[in-house]
Amino acid sequence: MKLSGYCSGLLLLANVGLQAAVKPELIEQSLSLRDNWMHLTRDLMLEPQWAAQGHSFHYKLSVEGGFMFFKDSVEAASPEAAFDHQRISAALSQATGHTYSALQLPFDSFSYSENEQQIRFFYNGERWQCQTDGRLCEALARNTRPKAFGVVRDLRVDAYNPERKSPDGRYTVQVVEHNLIITDASGKLYFHTRDGKAEHFYDPESVQWAPDSSALLVMKVIPGEARLVNRVLAAPDDQLEPKTLTQLYPKPGDAVDIDQPVLVQLDTAQAHVIDNQLFSQPYMLDSVRWQPDSSGFVFRYTERGHQLVRIIAVNAKTAKANALLTERTETFINQWGAFFQPLQGTGEGFIWLSERDGWAHLYLYAADGTLKNQITKGDWRVRRVVHIDEANKQLWFAASGINAGQDPYFEHYYRINFDGSGLTALTSADAQHQVSFSADMQYYIDLYSRVNLPNVAELRRSSDGKLVRKLAQADISRLSKAGFKSPEPFVAKGRDGKTDIWGLIVTPRNYDAKKRYPVIENIYAGPHDSFVPKSFWPFGFHSGGDKVIGMQALADLGFIVVQIDGMGTANRSKAFHDVAWQNLADSGFPDRILWHKAAAKRFRWYDISNGVGIYGASAGGQSTVAALLFHPEIYRVGVAFAGCYDNRMDKISWNEQWMGYPVGEQYAASSVTEHAALLQGQLLIINGEQDSNVDPASTMQLVNALIKADKDFDLLVVPGGEHSVGRSSGPIRYVQRRQFDFFLRHLQKQPTPDWNRLNMKTLPR
């Protein structure tokens, strides 16, 4: 009997070996899908932006051959080219060494400067400026000292340290040899500190004069730990020998910069170190600003661990600190969604965002810290504050979850009075909205869409929401003719049996409802946001990430590809979000697994009988490995990109926010490196050698743990590759092809082509 079973197994293996390999043309079509589809829309608007003054605006629009930028105005209603695209493309190509065509410029938005003689935009992580006559394009130099992940100054770089005049012009301040020096208008020394030194210096970039010139504020800094991560560039383009690159990279538990506010009173020429009893364990002091009447200054204090935040007010006469507000939580205060705004014009107090009632809402405080009233309220969340109108005591904001029957992630825009009355909706369509307002708030452009509703852009009047005119409506007829079809939203109950879990399903273009298809999940479960696409931008890369088109390319190889927002991700209730607290290994898997089972019960073609595949990058890479380790009964095949596989090895800012401080057992519990011996499924690890977001050593430590556990896996390290390898830079086609091959071989049990024997150039794309 045992022999018979053994022979049957050999026969099965032989049959698999005899299967014809997947046609390389099919894989090549998937690899080329984005390039073939990217420019098939017309009149699809992106990123409308208003001028700093007046009622003119500009935007990016899909046209024949690519995209163009247009400018228009409320009054003119006559779009024209925002600049000479040919000149800008030529100048940018010359400056960067990369060739860009006029209709495929590598940025989605820009701003005018110098009376529209220049444009400014972000390119390759830097701010650039081009003259519109095409004479010059250049990267703009930073004028501030870098601060690694916002908490440790890079002391290898000189601080921006110009002479700073007082508003009345009577005094000038500058930092010299770590000390503060103030001179009068004649150049005579007026004030000089003598206690500054390299290990406890006055920071010139923190100097703020009081509006009436009576005092100034400066931070005296104890530097944090200068942890340097070294990476070897093994195959540089310009030489044979490797290079070493060094990055300031603070990790969880490292000492951060300690900023100590110092108040210098000009009338007495005295410096007062502010008593730090109320802010003695800082992760960060930020939002520092003077009161308009120079009576004092305020700042926000975030305590190490992200469980306590205070608004501190300092009296400019007495130098005494007072806590206007103290917010505590047993889990985390989400600094990624925080909002604090003093009411400068009226001196009436400040606006504060809190999740104290279980949802993100806005609160009005008096100047002395007394709570006046809750402004917004309900089982929905404020997503962002757009504008505060102090004169009319109104604020304008975006929120999600208000409209019953709609996707709870759809953002709509509203206006409300400070006292919580007069809530007025500015958007109504059942869709995701992106609204931009004119500088005077009289008009707004409402750009709305869904994954199955192409972009519509409307110009409206703010006073009553009346439509002025439709600016653009995307035409996807060519895209649809080429085979594009929208993904389908699907909703199932989460682990509590009550909460709706939202996701998307992408099917092959040649989908046959009578067939059964293996399922692959595209995962990202970072607590800082939600990730299932809500708007119509299926193409990825320009707006970041894989997006729908990457899922479609994979689905066309014979898979169902899905994306889900499980518990622990953002933009729902506080309880929904708190699932991630000190437990990133959870990744919402209890909800995701129930979602998969509900889909399999609903659709006969949704086949999870042989397990589910999974892939993701960064935190999604960590979740991919966690799926295979902790849920092998469901997840059997995974491709992990650029993962932070142990949160102790990753950047301080992201990880302490969700995993807490001090670093304790919870970090090891969520580490997939610590649990590598649990691997049962098939795993491909892909990493960029020069990842500056997640320390590449995190990948190699996982590899080391897998080897020690005697586990089989596949590893692809891309020389010179960054964090985005396989997504928006680097050898995209090669990395994606390796991912496609891996799923075909291990989830579909399909042989793949012998790529080394093929002439790739002859394959149809």
Residues 416 and 529 in one domain: no
CA atoms within 13 A on the CB side of 589: 22
User: What does the alpha-carbon distance between residue 710 and residue 136 come to, in Å, rounded to a whole number?
Assistant: 57
What's the start-to-end Cα distance of the chain, in Å? 51
Q: What DSSP string describes 313-381?
A: EEETTT--EEEEEEEE-SS---GGG--EEE-TTT--EEEEEE-TTSS-EEEEEETTS-EEEESS-SSSE
Measure the CA dihedral 561/566/571/572, to 10°.
130
Helix (H, G, I), strand (E, B) or coil at 468: strand
User: What does the alpha-carbon distance between residue 581 and residue 337 come to, in Å, rounded to a whole number?
Assistant: 16
Q: What DSSP string describes 290-308?
A: E-TTSSEEEEEEEETTSSE
Q: How far is CA 408 from CA 33, 288, 430, 450, 514, in A?
A: 31, 34, 11, 13, 33
How many domains in the chain? Answer: 4
Residues 214 and 254 in one domain: yes
User: What does the alpha-carbon distance between residue 450 and residue 444 come to, in Å, rounded to a whole number?
Assistant: 20
Beta strands in 704-747 (DSSP E): 714-718
User: What does the alpha-carbon distance between residue 547 and residue 268 come to, in Å, rounded to a whole number?
Assistant: 60
Type of residue found at 526: G
In a domain, 443, yes or no: no
User: What does the alpha-carbon distance between residue 763 and residue 741 come to, in Å, rounded to a whole number?
Assistant: 17
In a domain, 433, yes or no: no
Distance of CA 677 to the CA centre of its chain: 32
Measure the CA dihedral 139/145/148/151, to 10°.
-140
* In contact, 357 and 324? CB cutoff 8 Å: no
- Whole-model pTM: value is 0.95
Q: Which residue has the tokens 């210098």?
A: 264
In a domain, 547, yes or no: yes
Residues 346 and 383 in one domain: yes
* In contact, 207 and 308? CB cutoff 8 Å: no
Domain boundary among 99, 120, 141: 141
User: What does the alpha-carbon distance between residue 765 and residue 752 come to, in Å, rounded to a whole number?
Assistant: 18
Residues 262 and 151 in one domain: yes
In a domain, 652, yes or no: yes
Residues 238 and 281 in one domain: yes
Residues 175 and 123 in one domain: no
Long-range contact set of residues 375-382: C-beta below 8 Å, sequence gap at least 24: 375/351, 375/416, 375/418, 375/419, 375/420, 376/416, 376/420, 376/423, 377/420, 378/402, 379/573, 380/408, 381/571, 381/572, 381/573, 382/339, 382/353
Residue 137 pairs with which residues in a beta bridge? 130
In a domain, 454, yes or no: no
User: What does the alpha-carbon distance between residue 475 and residue 439 come to, in Å, rounded to a whole number?
Assistant: 30
CATH number at residue 318: 2.140.10.30
In a domain, 416, yes or no: yes
Residues 353 and 262 in one domain: no
Beta strands in 223-281 (DSSP E): 228-233, 243-248, 258-265, 270-273
Going by C-alpha positions, the residue among 461, 456, 451, 453 that lies closest to residue 426 is 461
Beta pairing class for 321-328 and 443-450 = unpaired
Parent domain of 383? 339-425
Domain boundary among 126, 141, 156: 141
DSSP state of 476: -
Q: How far is CA 734 from CA 567, 686, 688, 727, 760, in A?
A: 34, 11, 13, 11, 11
Residues 284 and 178 in one domain: yes
Q: Which residue has the tokens 């969520």?
A: 670
* In contact, 444 and 435? CB cutoff 8 Å: yes
Domain boundary among 335, 355, 379: 335
Q: How far is CA 575 from CA 357, 569, 570, 579, 580, in A?
A: 10, 10, 10, 7, 10
In a domain, 211, yes or no: yes
Beta strands in 25-170 (DSSP E): 45-50, 56-63, 66-73, 80-81, 111-113, 118-123, 126-131, 137-139, 147-148, 152-153, 164-165
What pLDDT shows up at residue 655?
A: 98
CATH number at residue 569: 3.40.50.1820
Going by C-alpha positions, the residue among 279, 287, 331, 325 that lies closest to residue 307 is 331
Type of residue found at 683: L
Going by C-alpha positions, the residue among 26, 7, 68 that lies closest to residue 43 is 68
Residues 34 and 68 in one domain: no
Residues 349 and 370 in one domain: yes
In a domain, 9, yes or no: no
CA-based angle 291:297:298, to the nearest 5? 105
Who contacts 531 (Cβ-Cβ below 8 Å, separation ≥6)? 524, 525, 545, 563, 565, 569
* In contact, 453 and 475? CB cutoff 8 Å: no
What pLDDT shows up at residue 297?
A: 97
Who contacts 272 (Cβ-Cβ below 8 Å, separation ≥6)? 262, 263, 264, 265, 319
Residues of the chain with pLDDT below 70 are 1-18, 346-347, 540-546, 726-730, 760-765
What pLDDT shows up at residue 14?
A: 42
Residues 636 and 680 in one domain: yes
Type of residue found at 357: D
Going by C-alpha positions, the residue among 394, 399, 389 that lies closest to residue 417 is 394
Q: Which helix (H) or strand (E) holds 204?
A: none
Residues 129 and 162 in one domain: no
